[in-house]
């Protein structure tokens, strides 16, 4: 098993004909993901790479192909609209890779999804992968190995770094989820931790956070109260200057809440093994497995 | 993007919020002329993107135009928290009976816009939150309906007993909430919202921070950017589509992804070095971005070695490799370069670098150690 995606995932790609959308659709197909459809308004009727029929709307794609998961690669200006469209078409799992969506757009998107029972992963995230089963997004498949460690992260490339450490040292992954670096996201640490706790094929979890906000502190409380599986954690931004936005809109320290030191202390109090650097992940996990 | 006080006041005024008159001066003579037009005593206020202007001496009361000119001359020569003051706002001295606070932000936990009000106005709201949290009242707003009239009145009654003043404040809150969405703000605050002795409710000072992701669809707001109020290297980075923050160390860092960039800085420190900057070249990076990144890093004279840490996902290794080759040709780079490249199109990237005479590492710790050693040896 795995969380959120597996062999049953039937994917529709929103923005399949764009530069990023087409490149990563080929990567996903190459990995074995069932890409059943693409959507680009105005290009309905085309066939992408001889594999995936392209539709003008997500509703058409769902009706014709029974797609049950969507991934979004459209530009930021129309990304909120793409999420609304996927939810309206009845897609239960929407993964938004697009970065740069205004936060106020997300204040309108999130209640809309909630009312329809749809789960959003992202935005501004690398997506997720259940190694050997399915990949939705942009996480490079070749760095992952099937296995029993769950990974959840606010970052993109830092996730790859840590997954790479795991794979090259013999620890495969059940699912790796990049939840995104924005202040407002659809799926948070707790949603993923809770799914990993319930997944019989996950033995331990790696949680990768960063400065800004209090999500990691809430997640630490959840680990203490509700998790029996071991958790290893990392916080990026120990050397970040206060008050400055570090690329991710979420990665800003303001006042005393949101510093790396505070988050690492919350992890330690909750019994989470705290990494000082990415290379610590395997030794800490092996002590606990 | 931060707006200046005078720009935020203009936006509030456009939304029908009562704001005292006032004009901006860039010279003492202009300040004198404004004070003459306003009549009576005035306040001269530094326009910089920094809190604590009053404590730094950047806000001064003047009894007459001559004093206003003298204060303006002094304030216009000041530097507040490293930022040079290039403009002052001249406004009539307010006759203040009470000061309160009204602000709107997006709350990460409730995932909604939240109105924050406090009867303790005129001081930093974070200080109020820390010392007297009972004086802060919050309301999460459903963005589909906006701030409803009874909700605004309920908050206003926390600030004012007088019903006419409460109604006036409630109206201001609804207008502030509308302005928040209209300009695409991540923060909009009036601090202080004052009552005058005549009983009027007026926004005396305003602060608006606009979400950078909104600027493409708000060109009129983007045009308000004051590049002279920011570090030149950060302006250059923004124009090249990069995120750059200058730090004090000697190891120049060029990384794809904010999280990995922060982890790279942390690792530089872990191995005894000091990062010279935070630089995220972002996803989908084309070779030109890498050229711009190297230009910005090498413009910092304290940089002794440059570290590339690229883990390809949406960023492709060959794009970065081409950028490094192009940039080193164009810039005749003399600093030692340590390149770590792995992930999407890694083989192609390494091939391009090898052909151009560079070597690429695959291990992050090894690359950081080498970069720190080279920076310390230089």
Residues in chain B, how many? Answer: 378
ipTM: 0.90
Report the candidate in B140, B209, B199, B134 with the shortest Cα–Cα distance to residue B169: B199
Task: Name the CATH superfamily for B231-377.
Answer: Succinyl-CoA synthetase domains (3.40.50.261)
The fold for domain A139-288 equals Rossmann fold (3.40.50)
CA distance B212 to B231: 17
The alpha-carbon gap from B259 to the nearest alpha carbon of chain A, in Å, equals 5
Rounded distance between C-alpha atoms, residue A270 and residue A221, angstroms: 7
B232-252: per-residue pLDDT in tens? Answer: 787 888 888 898 988 999 999
Q: What is the pLDDT of residue A245?
A: 63
**What pLDDT does A149 receive?**
98
Q: What are the tokens at A219?
A: 């997640």
CA distance A225 to A19: 45
Q: Does B81 touch chain A (CB under 8 A)?
A: no
Does the pLDDT value for residue A251 go beyond 60? no
**Phi and psi based region of residue B83 (left: phi greater than 0; alpha: psi -120 to 50; beta: remaining):** beta
| Confidence class for position A256, pLDDT limits 50, 70, 90 | low
**Alpha helices by DSSP H, B184-316:** 219-222, 232-239, 258-270, 287-298
- Are the CB atoms for A13 and A73 separated by under 8 Å? yes
Q: CB of A242 within 8 Å of any CB in chain B?
A: no
Computed over every residue of chain B, the mean pLDDT equals: 92
Please state, for a pLDDT cut of 70, what percent of chain B lies above it.
99
Cβ neighbours of B364 (radius 10 Å): 23
Helix-strand-coil split of chain B, %, nearest 5: 40, 25, 35
Tokens of B52: 């604590």
Q: Which residues on neighbouring strands pair with residue B278, listed in sequence order? A: B245
Rounded Cα–Cα distance for residues A99 and B213 (Å): 9
Question: Of B153, B104, B353, B59, which Cα lies nearest the Cα of A107?
Answer: B104
Tell me the C-alpha to C-alpha distance, in Å, between residue A56 and each of A10, A13, A17, B222, B233: 18, 12, 12, 33, 43
Is A280's Cβ below 8 Å from some Cβ in B? no
B20–A contact, CB cutoff 8 A: no
Edge-first strand order for the sheet with A173-178 is A134-137, A127-130, A173-178, A146-153, A204-210, A231-236, A273-274
Cβ distance of A143 and B214 shorter than 8 Å:
no
pLDDT average, residue stretch B84-93:
94
- Give the per-residue pLDDT at A257: 67
Query: Which pLDDT does position B4 carry in this prediction?
Result: 95
Please state, in angstroms and rounded to a whole number, the distance separating the CA atoms of residues B96 and B90: 17
Residues in A closer than 8 angstroms to B275, CB to CB, are 239
The pLDDT tens digits for A212-247 are 888 999 999 999 999 999 999 999 999 887 766 665
> Is the minimum CB–CB distance between A141 and chain B shorter than 8 Å?
no
Find, in chain B, the residue whose alpha carbon is nearest to that of A237: B262
Residue B82 pLDDT > 80, yes or no? Answer: no
pLDDT of the residue at B230? 75
When CB atoms are compared, the residue of A140, A210, A250 closest to B312 is: A140
- Are A155 and B257 inside 8 Å of each other by CB? yes
Q: Where are the beta strands (DSSP E) in chain A?
A: 10-14, 34-39, 47-48, 52-55, 69-72, 93-96, 119-121, 127-130, 134-137, 146-153, 173-178, 204-210, 231-236, 273-274
Residue A191: active-site member: no
Q: Do A126 and B313 touch (CB under 8 A)?
A: yes
Q: Where are the domains of chain B?
A: 21-92, 96-222, 231-377
- Which chain A residues are Cβ-neighbours of B181 within 8 angstroms? 104
| Cα B104 to the center of its chain, rounded Å | 16
B21-92: CATH topology: Dna Ligase; domain 1 (3.30.1490)
**CA-wise closest residue to B368 among B293, B266, B232:** B266
Q: Which residues of B touch A100 (CB under 8 A)?
A: 213
pLDDT in tens, A152-200: 999 989 999 999 999 999 999 999 999 998 999 999 999 999 999 999 9
Instruction: Look at B313 and A210 and tell me if their CB atoms are within 8 Å.
Output: no
| Distance in angstroms (rounded) separating the CA atoms of residues A212 and A259 | 7
Q: What does the pLDDT average to over B164-180? A: 98
Query: How far, in Å, CA of B185 to CA of B242, rounded?
Result: 21
**Mean of the pLDDT values across residues B206-227?**
93
More confident residue, B49 or B47: B47
Q: Is the pLDDT of residue B294 over 60?
A: yes
Interface of B with A in 128-147 (CB under 8 A): 130, 142-144
Q: What is the pLDDT of residue A75?
A: 95
Residue B124 pLDDT greater than 60, yes or no: yes
Residues from chain A that touch B263, judged by Cβ atoms under 8 A, are 155, 158, 161, 234, 236, 277-278
Q: How far does Cα A286 stand from its chain's mean position?
A: 25
CA–CA min distance B87, chain A (Å): 23
Asked if CATH classification 3.90.1150.10 holds for the domain at B96-222, the reply, yes or no, is no
Location of each CATH 3.40.50.720 domain in chain A:
10-121
Tens digit of pLDDT for each residue in A89-113? Answer: 999 999 999 999 999 999 999 999 9
Task: List Cβ neighbours of A181 (8 Å cut-off, separation of 6 or more).
Answer: A124, A125, A154, A155, A156, A210, A247, A248, A249, A250, A251, B258, B259
pLDDT at residue B313 in the model: 75
Among A99, A210, A276, select the one facing B283 at the smallest CB separation: A99
Q: How far apart are CA B173 and CA B153, in angstroms?
A: 9
Positions of E strands within A154-284: 173-178, 204-210, 231-236, 273-274
Count of all residues that appear for chain A in the document: 289
B226 falls in which pLDDT band (50, 70, 90)?
confident
Task: Name the helix (H) or strand (E) containing B322.
Answer: helix B317-331
- What is residue B238's predicted lDDT score, i.e. its pLDDT? 85
Q: Is A239 on the interface with B (CB under 8 A)?
A: yes
CA distances from A119 to A68, A81, A253 (A): 11, 16, 28
Contact B273, B343 (CB under 8 A): no
The superfamily (CATH) of domain A10-121 is: NAD(P)-binding Rossmann-like Domain (3.40.50.720)
Identify which of B211, B263, B344 has the shortest CB distance to residue A103. B211
Residues of A in contact with B113 (CB under 8 A): 104, 107
Task: Enumerate residues 6+ apart whose C-beta is below 8 A from B10.
Answer: none
pLDDT tens, residue by residue, A24-79: 999 999 999 999 999 999 999 999 999 999 999 999 999 999 999 999 999 999 99
Amino acid A248: pLDDT: 58
pLDDT for B327? 87
Nearest to B217 among A77, A108, A140 (CB): A77
């Amino acid at each position: 098993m795995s969380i959120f995606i597996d062999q049953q995932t039937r994917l529709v790609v929103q923005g399949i004909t764009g530069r990023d959308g087409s490149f990563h659709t080929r990567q996903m197909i190459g990995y074995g993901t069932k890409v059943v459809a693409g959507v680009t308004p105005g290009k309905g009727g085309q066939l992408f790479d001889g594999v995936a029929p392209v539709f003008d709307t997500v509703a058409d794609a769902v009706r014709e192909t029974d797609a049950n998961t969507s991934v979004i690669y459209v530009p930021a200006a129309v990304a909120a609209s793409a999420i609304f469209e996927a939810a309206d078409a009845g897609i239960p799992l929407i993964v938004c890779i697009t970065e740069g969506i205004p936060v106020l757009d997300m204040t309108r998107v999130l209640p809309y999804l909630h009312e329809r029972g749809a789960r959003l992963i992202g935005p501004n995230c690398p997506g997720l992968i259940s190694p050997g089963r399915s990949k939705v997004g942009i996480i490079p498949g070749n760095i992952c190995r099937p296995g029993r460690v769950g990974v959840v992260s606010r970052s993109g490339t830092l996730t790859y770094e840590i997954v790479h450490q795991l794979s090259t040292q013999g620890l495969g992954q059940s699912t790796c989820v990049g939840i995104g670096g924005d202040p407002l996201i659809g799926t948070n640490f707790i949603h993923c931790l809770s799914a990993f706790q319930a997944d019989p094929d996950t033995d331990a979890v790696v949680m990768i956070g960063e400065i800004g906000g209090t999500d990691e502190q809430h997640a630490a409380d959840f680990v203490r109260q509700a998790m029996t599986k071991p958790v290893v954690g990392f916080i990026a931004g120990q050397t970040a200057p206060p008050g400055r936005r570090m690329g991710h809109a979420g990665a800003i320290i303001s006042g005393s809440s949101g510093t790396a030191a505070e988050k690492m202390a919350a992890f330690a109090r909750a019994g989470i093994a705290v990494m000082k650097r990415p290379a610590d992940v395997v030794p800490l996990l092996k002590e606990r497995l | 993007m931060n707006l200046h006080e005078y720009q935020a006041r203009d936006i509030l005024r456009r939304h029908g919020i009562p704001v005292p008159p006032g004009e901006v001066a860039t010279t003492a003579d202009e300040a004198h002329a404004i004070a003459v037009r306003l009549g009576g005593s005035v306040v001269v206020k530094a326009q910089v993107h920094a809190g604590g202007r009053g404590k730094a001496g950047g806000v001064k009361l003047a009894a007459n135009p001559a004093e206003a000119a003298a204060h303006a001359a002094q304030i216009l020569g000041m530097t507040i928290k490293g930022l040079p003051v290039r403009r002052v706002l001249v406004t009539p001295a307010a006759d203040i009976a009470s000061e309160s606070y009204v602000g709107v932000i997006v709350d990460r936990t409730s995932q909604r816009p939240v109105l924050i009000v406090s009867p303790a106005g005129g001081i930093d709201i974070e200080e109020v939150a820390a010392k007297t949290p009972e004086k802060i009242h919050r309301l999460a707003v459903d963005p589909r309906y906006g701030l409803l009239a009874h909700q605004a009145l309920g908050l206003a009654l926390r600030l004012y007993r007088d019903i006419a003043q409460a109604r006036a404040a409630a109206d201001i809150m609804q207008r502030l909430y509308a302005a928040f969405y209209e300009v695409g703000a991540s923060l909009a605050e009036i601090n202080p919202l004052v009552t005058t002795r005549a009983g009027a409710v007026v926004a005396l000072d305003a602060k608006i921070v606009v979400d950078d992701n909104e600027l493409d669809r708000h060109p009129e707001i983007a045009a308000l950017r004051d590049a002279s109020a920011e570090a030149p290297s950060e302006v250059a980075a923004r124009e090249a589509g990069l995120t750059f923050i200058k730090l004090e160390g000697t190891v120049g860092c060029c990384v794809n992804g904010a999280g990995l960039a922060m982890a790279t800085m942390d690792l530089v420190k872990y191995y005894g070095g000091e990062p010279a900057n935070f630089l995220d070249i972002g996803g989908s990076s084309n070779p030109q971005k890498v050229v711009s990144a190297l230009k910005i890093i090498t413009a910092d004279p304290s940089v002794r070695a440059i570290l590339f840490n690229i883990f390809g996902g949406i960023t492709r290794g060959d794009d970065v490799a081409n950028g490094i080759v192009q940039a080193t040709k164009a810039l005749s780079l003399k600093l030692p370069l340590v390149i770590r490249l792995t992930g999407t199109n890694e083989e192609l990237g390494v091939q391009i670098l090898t052909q151009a005479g560079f070597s690429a590492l695959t291990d992050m710790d090894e690359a950081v150690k080498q970069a720190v050693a080279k920076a310390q040896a230089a």
